[in-house]
Chain A
Amino acid sequence: MRKYFIFVIFLFFIIFLLKGENLFYIILKPEQKLLYQSNRGEIEDDFCRQIKIENVQLKNTQLENEILREYLDFLTKSKDKFIMANVIGRRTESGITWFLLDRGEKQGLRSGLAVLDENGVLIGIINKVEKEVSYFHPIFDQHLSIAADIISQEFLTDIGSSKKNEKSETISGIIQGEYGLNLKMKYVPLDKEIKIGDGVITSGQDNIRWGIIIGQVAEIDKKPNAIFQEILIRPLFQTDFKIVSVILPF
């Protein structure tokens, strides 16, 4: 029996070394997409099965069209290079959450790239890339830290352009997820004036360009004896994301 176990463990690592898992990605991708994207909207009870199926198909197409139209609207305004990807799975283990995308190294993805929703709001960062699939950490996961800027409401209109406005006063800090729900901004000096409703955007570090929208300031926690203040951020991304876009490097 011991021989069996040693053989199986040996075989397991050989398969991983030879990248044999890529075969499974190709086989399972369509089924995963079908399953993950199956719960789109409510389906009303109907006596006619055929109409029911057609209705679901139409609803799916309509929803997909709406998402793609919003993407098109956002992508035409932006000068970035994008790749669209379907979310095909989600997993959480030991407090670590990650999502699966159906695009990988073959399509030009690599770790560290930003993942956006249809409105151009940051959802997460790609963590690991395989030949056919890739994985990303959502920004609400506590294991992801991103450098971010708080920008006052008057300058929020500048964030559509990829260049930083010289006039806009920004306050920098580090954003981290909290309990898989909220975002907290840390290391913001106590003397900086921040208002509730101010916008939060990426700061242009960590290989992610400046100006990608993250959220809005929801709460300010100032303690008199502390060096830094903590800011609670309300993320602006769509929670039920099925199709995402990944910004490619120039």
Chain B
Amino acid sequence: MFFNFVFLIILIFIIFLLEISLPIIPLGVSFIFIFIMVFLLKASKDKDFFSQKIRYVFFTAIIGGFLLDCYSIFFPGTFFLSLLTVTYLSKRFFLLKFNTNKILSVLIFGLVAGFIYQFLISFFIFISSFFQSTIPQIYFNGFYWLNVFQAIVLNGLLIVFLFWALNLIKFSKIRI
């Protein structure tokens, strides 16, 4: 259990570094969010709400959110609370409605989770910009909507791709 924990922390750090410092990734793609959602999809078969795997998912959301907040110009807690809330809502409500054996179902789950995540981030930025002058206000213009749309679609597609790839690896291992 201890080694799993250490391995997870190292993995979170690597994913975070790739998200923040890899210049080639398209704008709006959040590796931490994608990783949490795929992890949650894989752990969704556990009936117990606070099982070991689900605890790891929440732990990833806490550490990932903390790191993203460390390197953000927004009020501390914007990413942390957004990630925790979207993880909780996904486990508590969305995963019950979607059949994770179908690709289309996983895609819709990814899009819904992505939408909630983007909505929460925008909401926290919007609220905090009233209290702190250094935080830029969101302009709800075409550029903003394009950015949000791009983030939701790209994150949704990457969740499907990663989930599908992990399933494929699992099945190919069984065949061997």
Contact = CB atoms under 8 A, between A and B. Distances in A.
B43 interface: no
A94 B147 contact: yes
A250 interface: no
Contact of A13 (B17, B27, B72, B76): B76
Contacts, number: 99
A242 to B, nearest CB: 9
Contacts of A28: 13, 17
Nearest to A94: B122
Contacts of A9: 80-81
A175 interface: no
A225 interface: no
Interface string A15-42: 1100001001100100111011001000
A127 B17 contact: no
Interface residues of A, number: 40
Interface string B116-127: 001001100100
Classify chain B: how many residues form its interface, as a range. 35 or more
Interface stretch (B61-69, B157-165, B166-174): B61-69
Contacts of B77: 12-13, 16
Contacts of B142: 179
A142 interface: yes
Interface stretch (B34-42, B94-102, B133-141): B133-141
A103 interface: no
Contacts of A1: 49-50
Interface in A63-107: 88-98, 100
A95 B139 contact: yes
Contacts of A142: 139, 141, 143
Give 4 closest A-B pairs by Cβ, nearest first.
A143-B136, A95-B144, A35-B21, A21-B70
Interface of A: 1, 5, 8-9, 12-13, 15-16, 21, 24-25, 28, 31-33, 35-36, 39, 88-98, 100, 111, 127-128, 133, 135, 137, 142-143, 179-180
25 contacts: A5-B84, A9-B80, A12-B80, A15-B66, A16-B76, A24-B67, A28-B17, A31-B21, A32-B21, A35-B18, A89-B20, A91-B20, A93-B74, A94-B122, A94-B138, A95-B138, A95-B141, A95-B144, A96-B73, A100-B21, A100-B71, A135-B73, A142-B143, A143-B137, A179-B143
